[in-house]
Structure 1
């Protein structure tokens, strides 16, 4: 059943780093207690049958696997069926399989468009970075179309870029690494820049709202990803690379934003933490 109009729409997003491994480590327990209406998953790295078997038949599941088996993969699981879904992004010769999944959901008569996306991680000065820029270029083209399609649209997922110095604990040591390159961050300046304020380098922004930064304000983090190496998690040396980017109409309905950071390193079921947001439609 669709969520009741008296209850906010709860949308959660997480990069599972392999959904089967995440379930073995406790993802199912987290999901059972979180009362999620729409769940966006990145790095599924499993089959649709695997997803159905793990989540259960009470979920309606859309899944776009990567071209290469066992890589990437994005999914949307919901309590109500999507009215329509799309997976194409960018030009015909661009392979976005497993990285972009859009769906329209009817929530008590209100249509909400949700995108689960997994942006390429990239690697500075390599072909991998070229592919990342192709993906970000395709997003630049698609975001205005999404906003035109529906004034309540949302892009969630692992976008693999820390937009500002507030988004990475050790930003000085990462200015030449993929994920914090000036060229990557400029795309995010464009995504969330105001439509009525032109930037010298980027022109007018697209006007999308970064919900995490809007709620947290001008503070460090809060982070959503920590390296598995060393003491990164224990020391909170993280990156904020998992986002909810919303159109202004949808952003105005946010009533709660939470990063479900594990209580301890050995309680993690992914190197990312889920981002859970309530929208009072």
Structure 2
């Protein structure tokens, strides 16, 4: 099972730049897309429904909030829109597809970089999602959360120029959130399970003028439940794409759909 997570910063623009051709060549089973930047009704055109894939979207009251979607080569048993946290559900930040053996979710955390007033909103979201992760552990199925978390976890996940900067996305309490998820709750950072190398970035802030060079962060994750640790086969970051300032995270799992 191949699962892809990518933040496109506008699905329309990504489509114009060959996103769906790339997706087909990748032969992915499930593609989780963040930052749609449009209303769901704007995706009625056949270009947004490539042959062989089912498409599901959720948007927010304000398209600028992002919106997320899931493309799947397999019909899901159910689709869940939101995770019962009203601000995030209203902003279209979470969608989940349930299959026979696993559930896959696309998620987009709020961004507070360069806007201190939004840090409280981001922290509220992260706290609510932490509660959701705790509840998820009690369920009798496995989960893959494909997320643009707008945060880098370890010092190896951010360029050294940010290590002494106090900026949203690399604040101590934000990084401690990941410590609790991966250490206390025993969730797995799927990419880091197969790749321990430095400079594995998925996002290059334009304000840092480090496009695809060293001034990057790894803010895009596939967070999986503990029961999937031993079925992670391989994974990589496709830094050669040019659909947005984010690179996709591509993971292969030994899971039958």
Shared fold (TM-score greater than 0.5)?
Answer: yes
* Aligned residue in 1 for 2:213: 235
The structure richer in helix per residue is 2
* Aligned residue in 2 for 1:251: 229
Q: Report the number of matched residues.
A: 253
Q: 1:275 to 1:67 in 2, by over 3 A?
A: same
Is 1:170 the counterpart of 2:149? The answer is no
Q: Which runs of 5+ in 1 are unaligned?
A: 1-8, 194-204
TM-score by length of 1: 0.83
Superposed CA deviations along residues 84-132 of structure 1, whole A, max 9, x for unmatched, are 22223354466553111122113xxxx2111110001114783310010
Q: Please identify the structure whose Cα radius of gyration is greater.
A: 1
Q: Which moves more between the two structures, 179-188 or 45-54?
A: 45-54
Q: 1:270 to 1:82 in 2, by over 3 A?
A: same
* Aligned residue in 2 for 1:40: 32
Secondary structure, counterpart of 1:98 in structure 2: coil
TM-score by length of 2: 0.90
Secondary structure, counterpart of 2:243 in structure 1: coil
Q: CA–CA distance in 2 between the matches of 1:13 and 1:172?
A: 24
* Aligned residue in 2 for 1:201: none
Q: How does 1:40-189 map to 2 (within 5 A)?
A: 40-51=32-43, 53=46, 54-92=48-86, 95-106=89-100, 111-123=101-113, 126-172=116-162, 175-189=165-179
CA RMSD for the aligned pairs?
2.1
Q: How does 1:12-27 map to 2 (within 5 A)?
A: 12-27=4-19
The one of 213, 216, 224 aligned to 2:192: 213
User: Cα offset for 1:49?
Assistant: 4.4
* Aligned residue in 2 for 1:279: 253
Q: CA–CA distance in 2 between the matches of 1:94 and 1:56?
A: 28
User: Cα offset for 1:275?
Assistant: 0.7
User: Cα offset for 1:153?
Assistant: 0.8
Q: CA–CA distance in 1 between the matches of 2:99 and 2:108?
A: 20
Q: CA–CA distance in 1 between the matches of 2:62 and 2:216?
A: 29
Q: Which runs of 5+ in 2 are unaligned?
A: none
Contact 2:88 2:94 in 1 (8 A): no
Q: CA–CA distance in 1 between the matches of 2:62 and 2:164?
A: 29
Q: 1:220 to 1:49 in 2, by over 3 A?
A: same
Q: Which moves more between the two structures, 240-249 or 224-233?
A: 224-233
Q: CA–CA distance in 2 between the matches of 1:93 and 1:31?
A: 31
Contact 2:110 2:122 in 1 (8 A): yes
